[in-house]
């Protein structure tokens, strides 16, 4: 299977593991790469030492191309991006910020940049800033998807830019891959599907809750972590969204986040104050930080909140990463063969 995405990244199949905090760890990234796709290391919750160690761990686990994410709104993101560039990671996934300076430096060592976007405006801007491809995240996706559905957003952005597009949001199998390619995308991201595999670090209790959930069992709101975000429906998720931002809670959690990221607390707070438009978003994120981690790592959905896509409702098993990717490609080819007979 060959698309502009497979050729750009030097991979076998146009299937991507997005950078999901506490999920897209070296072992899962490497498993996706070894199975023919490509994955982005999630660096949002990592400090610079952890980012460098994780990149080197991926290289121990695979000799295939891989990527790492730079979520520029997050505290410490620029420092992590510097590590990514120093380590000459093959692909850099940039989100929530301008990719121009990263693209300029990555291109010098032959690296590629894929920018995550949720609007046509941001897609056009990212292309002008030097992105080699776009990761277009529709409304159905886990976490920070667009307010526009993948079915509409993907072809709109494909028509607006010249660089290749990866569609994310609502993809879990070969039928989805075939549909995305038909819409003009040249690859798909399968975050929720790949997070529900044997190699995924997501706690078994949380995986079980996702399998038991339906397509209706998610909530999409901007009152959880400050951005429009999709989470697994639960009493705690509903409570968190009703409460909205909690500045006292942000003040409690903020110092711990600073310690984990090895950032001086004053730098974290100054970063919030220096960007008033982002201050409330960062305050939201600080209150959501430990809830997301608690659900992902500990399987505690009484306190924690898990990020998941609507596609959870069509997932009913827990295979290996290789099994997911192999059958996705097989199903997509079967779909196209069947469609060929229908369109004669």
User: Can you give the residue ranges of every domain in the chain?
Assistant: 4-202+315-342, 205-298
**What CATH number does domain 4-202+315-342 carry, 3.30.1050.10, 3.40.50.2300, 3.90.1150.10, 3.20.20.70?**
3.20.20.70
Report if pTM > 0.85: yes
Give the pLDDT confidence score for residue 226 in this predicted structure: 78
DSSP string across 39-103:
EEE--TT--HHHHHHHHHHHHHH-SS--EEEEETTSTTHHHHHHHHHHTT-SEEEEESS--HHHH
Give the mean model confidence (pLDDT) for residues 269-280.
54
Q: Report the share of the chain in percent with pLDDT over 70.
A: 88
| In the predicted structure, residue 256 carries a pLDDT above the cut 80 | no
What's phi and psi for 139, nearest 5 deg? -60, -30
Give the pLDDT confidence score for residue 247 in this predicted structure: 52
| In the predicted structure, residue 106 carries a pLDDT above the cut 90 | yes
- Distance CA(255)–CA(268), nearest Å, equals 9
Give the pLDDT confidence score for residue 262 in this predicted structure: 58
Distances (CA, A) of 166 to 23, 93, 111, 170: 20, 12, 18, 12
pLDDT digits (tens, 9 = 90+) for 37-50: 999 999 998 999 99
pLDDT digits (tens, 9 = 90+) for 61-93: 999 999 999 998 777 889 999 999 999 999 999
Give the pLDDT confidence score for residue 76 in this predicted structure: 82
| In the predicted structure, residue 17 carries a pLDDT above the cut 90 | yes
- Beta strand segments in 206-254, E: 218-221, 229-232
In this structure, are residues 311 and 171 in contact, taking their beta carbons and an 8 Å threshold? yes
Assign residue 169 a region (left: φ > 0; alpha: ψ between -120 and 50; beta: otherwise): left
């Amino acid at each position: 299977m060959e698309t502009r995405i497979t050729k750009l990244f030097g991979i076998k199949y146009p299937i991507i593991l997005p950078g999901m905090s506490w999920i897209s760890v070296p072992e899962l990234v490497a498993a996706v790469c070894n199975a023919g796709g490509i994955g982005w290391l999630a660096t949002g919750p990592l400090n610079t030492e952890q980012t460098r160690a994780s990149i080197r761990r991926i290289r121990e686990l695979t000799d295939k191309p891989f990527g790492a994410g730079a979520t520029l709104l997050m505290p410490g993101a620029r420092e992590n991006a510097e590590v990514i560039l120093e380590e000459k990671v093959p692909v850099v996934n940039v989100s929530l910020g301008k990719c121009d300076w990263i693209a300029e430096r990555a291109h010098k060592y032959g690296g590629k940049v894929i920018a995550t976007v949720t609007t046509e405006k941001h897609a056009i801007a990212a292309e002008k800033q030097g992105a080699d491809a776009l990761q277009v995240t529709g409304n159905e996706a886990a976490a920070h998807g667009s307010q526009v559905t993948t079915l509409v957003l993907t072809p709109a952005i494909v028509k607006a830019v010249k660089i290749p597009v990866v569609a994310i949001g609502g993809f879990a199998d070969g039928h989805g891959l075939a549909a995305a390619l038909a819409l003009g995308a040249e690859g798909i991201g399968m975050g929720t599907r790949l997070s529900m595999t044997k190699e995924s670090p997501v706690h078994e209790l949380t995986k079980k809750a996702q399998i038991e959930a339906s397509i209706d069992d998610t909530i999409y709101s901007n009152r959880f972590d400050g951005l429009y975000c999709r989470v697994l429906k639960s009493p705690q998720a509903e409570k968190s969204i009703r409460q909205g931002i909690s500045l006292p809670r942000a003040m409690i959690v903020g110092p711990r986040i600073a310690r984990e990221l090895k950032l001086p607390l004053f730098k974290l707070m100054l970063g919030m104050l220096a960007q008033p438009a982002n201050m409330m978003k960062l305050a939201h994120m600080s209150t959501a930080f430990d809830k997301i981690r608690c659900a992902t790592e500990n399987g505690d959905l009484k306190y924690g909140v898990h990020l998941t896509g609507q596609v959870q409702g069509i997932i009913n098993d827990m295979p290996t990463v290789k099994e997911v990717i192999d059958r996705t490609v097989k199903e997509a080819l079967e779909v196209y063969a069947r469609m060929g007979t229908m369109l004669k």
